Each structure stands twice: as C-alpha cells, then as structure tokens.
Amino acid sequence: MSIKISPSVLTADFLTLADDIKKLEAAGCDMLHLDVMDGIFVPNISFGVPVIKSIKAHSNIPLDVHLMIDRPHRYIKDFAAVSDWLGFHFEAGSDSAELLKEIRNLGCKSCLTIKPCTAPEEIFDLLPLCDMVLVMSVEPGFGGQKFMPSALDKLAVLKQEIDRQGLNVELEIDGGINAETAPLAIEAGATVLVAGSYVFSDKMEENVAFLKSL
C-alpha cells in the first residue's frame, strides 16, 4: 500500500482552517483527520457533526473521523452521514463487531482504534471487519504529546496478523508523528500517518511534502 497522509485539525487554527484545507488539498493530502471528543471517554471536548458537516461542504479531501466518545453506537448514524472513514475506540463500550458492520452498511470505511494500554492481539478477530486500524502512539485526548515507541511494536504485530489473514487493511498511526518518527512508523507497517502540529505550522507545505516523499 502507498503511504497516505491524514493531517489532524486538532492543532489547527480554526479561524484559518478553510485556507489551510485548500493548501492541504494542493499539497496532495489523502485524508483529513477529525478528532471528536466528548469530555467523557477522554478529558477534553472538541467538536461534533455540525463542524464536520461544514468542513465536508468545503473540502474535496476524504474525511477521516476519529470518535473518542463513550458508547459511540449512539451517534454512529449521524457521524456516518458526514464521514468517509469512520472510526471508534475498541475500549469505548460498544459492541465492536456490530458497530464495524454498521459503519460499512452506512457506506463508510470502517476503522477500529486502540489506546496505548490495549494489546493488538485483543482485536485480531475483528480485523476482517476493518478497513483500517488506528494505533494511538499517545494517550488520546490532547494534541502535542510525545511519541510512544511501544506503538511501533503494535504496528508490526498487526501488520504480521493482517498479512497472515490475507486482508487488505490500512494501518494508521496517530500521535507525535514528525520527521523523526514517521519513517519509524512506516518501517513498522504504518500506511496512514496522522500528523497535527508537524503539519499545521509555518512549514505546512514543506512538511507535507516530506511525509509524502517517504
């Protein structure tokens, strides 16, 4: 699989987001990563369906929506209506298998996310229902955290199992991705890179170009 770039708007300046999205489109970004936080599953609150709907109306980039919310099955239809890729946390209190099926039935690509405390082996039986698996390399909830090297081992284990099962599943990594950590993540098996503060900076085009070159 070719490497895909999914910039995270969590660290963006929302007053200039429309202009930044146009720059990201021109730079060839593959997705736009949107972190939805409810203040319950994670200790922060971000945005919901109305903001994502507005972004979708003004963007040609597929939206990679990451639900960091408690019992995500309660809102899955609403978010599926404004998402291209829709993911939730294995640890969030929903029936993961049923929710992954529902996401696909609603016309979205399905993504299952695991926190740093979750072993990759716990989701092996769910891999056939996933279009993508997201490995968190920081604790979910806040941007700008330091990269956790343990995520590299998880990527490698998941890559091996995906290959063993003969599946076509993207492996995404989120947290602390920059010029130093991105090559390590790709070497471990990542095919989708989520980058926040590294991309939303005064070197946006330059940094996206570097990630695209990997």
Single out the catalytic residue among 20, 35, 38, 131.
35
Count of helices and strands (H, E) across the chain: 7, 8
C-alpha distance from residue 16 to each of 38, 52, 181, 184 (Å)? 24, 15, 27, 31
Right CATH for 4-213 from 3.30.1540.10, 3.40.1410.10, 3.20.20.70, 3.40.50.880: 3.20.20.70
Annotated catalytic residue 35: yes
Report how far apart, in Å, the C-alpha atoms of 42 and of each of 28, 45, 67, 139, 156 are.
Answer: 31, 8, 10, 9, 26
Q: Which of 38, 64, 131, 174 is catalytic?
A: 174
Per-residue model confidence (pLDDT) at position 144: 65
Q: What is the pLDDT of residue 141?
A: 79
CA angle 86, 24, 199 (to 5 degrees): 85
From first to last of its 214 residues, what are the pLDDT tens digits of the chain? 689 999 999 888 889 989 999 999 999 999 999 999 999 999 999 999 999 999 999 899 999 999 999 999 999 999 999 999 999 999 999 999 999 999 999 999 999 999 999 999 999 999 999 999 999 999 987 666 789 999 999 999 999 999 999 999 999 999 999 999 999 999 999 999 999 999 998 899 999 999 989 8
